[in-house]
């Protein structure tokens, strides 16, 4: 099968979040896709196979299948459009999270994703131990979102990965704060799912966009994820949906033999 690695939410080489993209002619068994994702050893590998008016799309970390992945969706649309030369106005993906669309807009790829509302919860000693700093608020949806004091605190954070993995009821843990040169910043950790720190997490912004739109009183926002590689996301709040846009760059293309 054709295989690509594309850096999503990347403004320059070796930035953003690398995603594996496998373009299939026929569906593969789930256990085979999981073995390939484990062999690739990237945060996510996406598998796209033609289906109806678009593609069936599934995402796997090295250890498990997940229900929504932003950067690998953006990377898949980028590969289909810019590398393989499909000339569609938008790309429709059928996924476990319902239909998702990605629209090329100049040098950006804009994803239309569901918004995930958060509920505020009590801050626990386990949360404080996991991040090792003062937490202003804690909110929960798929992931645990911890509001910190400022961008510097987010950037300098040294998390306790075993403590993060032990926090119940969440796929991963994110820290966020108001940005200095952008609207908000974040970092994301999911060590229990084979992702100690994710480079740039599109699906996380299904929670962060409505969270920060309400706090800042604006629906168009620019975000930065402050991982060592870093990445920029251009965000819009649309109530029950969010739009998340970014750039992508091709790193590698080849073939997988199984």
pLDDT score, position 13: 86
pLDDT score, position 169: 83
Q: Give 41's contacts (C-beta < 8 A, 6+ positions apart).
A: 62
Catalytic: which of 39, 44, 151, 152? 44
Could you give the CA distance from residue 75 to residue 170 in angstroms, rounded to a whole number? 25
Could you give the CA distance from residue 212 to residue 89 in angstroms, rounded to a whole number? 30
Collect contacts of 160-166 with beta carbons under 8 A, ≥24 apart.
160/129, 160/130, 160/131, 160/132, 161/189, 161/191, 161/196, 162/191, 163/126, 163/129, 163/130, 164/130, 164/131, 164/189, 164/191, 164/192, 165/191, 165/192, 166/126, 166/130
**Is 255 noted as a catalytic residue in this protein?**
no
Measured CA distances, 170 to 50, 114, 144 (Å): 32, 18, 6
Q: What is the DSSP letter of 11?
A: S
pLDDT in tens, the chain (258 residues): 999 999 999 988 899 999 999 999 999 999 999 999 999 999 999 999 999 999 999 999 999 999 999 999 999 999 999 999 999 999 999 999 999 999 999 999 999 999 999 999 999 999 999 999 999 999 999 999 999 999 999 999 999 999 999 998 888 999 999 999 999 999 999 998 888 999 999 999 999 999 999 999 999 999 999 999 999 999 999 999 999 999 999 999 999 998
Report the SS3 class of residue 63: coil
Could you give the CA distance from residue 169 to residue 68 in angstroms, rounded to a whole number? 17
pTM (2 d.p.) = 0.94
> Which residue, among 3, 14, 4, 16, has the nearest Cα to 247 in the 3D structure?
16
For the record, the structure tokens of 73 come out as 């969706």
């Amino acid at each position: 099968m054709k295989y690509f690695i594309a850096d999503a939410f990347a403004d320059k080489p070796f930035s953003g979040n690398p995603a594996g993209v496998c373009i299939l002619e026929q569906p593969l068994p789930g256990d085979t896709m999981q073995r390939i994702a484990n062999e690739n050893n990237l945060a996510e590998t996406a598998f796209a196979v033609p289906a109806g008016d678009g593609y069936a799309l599934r995402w796997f970390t090295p250890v498990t299948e997940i229900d929504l992945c932003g950067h690998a969706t953006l990377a898949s649309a980028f590969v289909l459009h810019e590398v393989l030369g499909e000339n569609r106005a938008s790309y429709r993906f059928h996924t476990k999270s319902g239909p998702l669309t990605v629209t090329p807009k100049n040098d950006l790829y804009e994803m239309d994703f569901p918004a995930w509302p958060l509920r505020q919860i009590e801050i626990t000693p386990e949360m404080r131990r996991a991040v090792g700093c003062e937490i202003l608020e804690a909110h929960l949806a798929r992931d645990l979102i911890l509001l910190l004091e400022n961008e510097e605190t987010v950037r300098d954070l040294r998390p306790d990965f075993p403590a993060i993995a032990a926090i119940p009821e969440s796929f991963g843990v994110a820290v966020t704060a108001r940005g200095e040169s952008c609207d908000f910043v974040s970092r994301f950790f999911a060590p229990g799912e084979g992702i100690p720190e994710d480079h740039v997490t599109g699906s996380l912004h299904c929670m962060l966009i409505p969270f920060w739109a309400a706090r800042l009183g604006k629906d168009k926002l620019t975000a930065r994820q402050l991982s060592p590689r870093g990445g920029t996301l251009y965000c819009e709040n649309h109530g029950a949906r969010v739009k998340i846009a970014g750039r992508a760059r091709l790193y590698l293309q080849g073939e997988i033999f199984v």
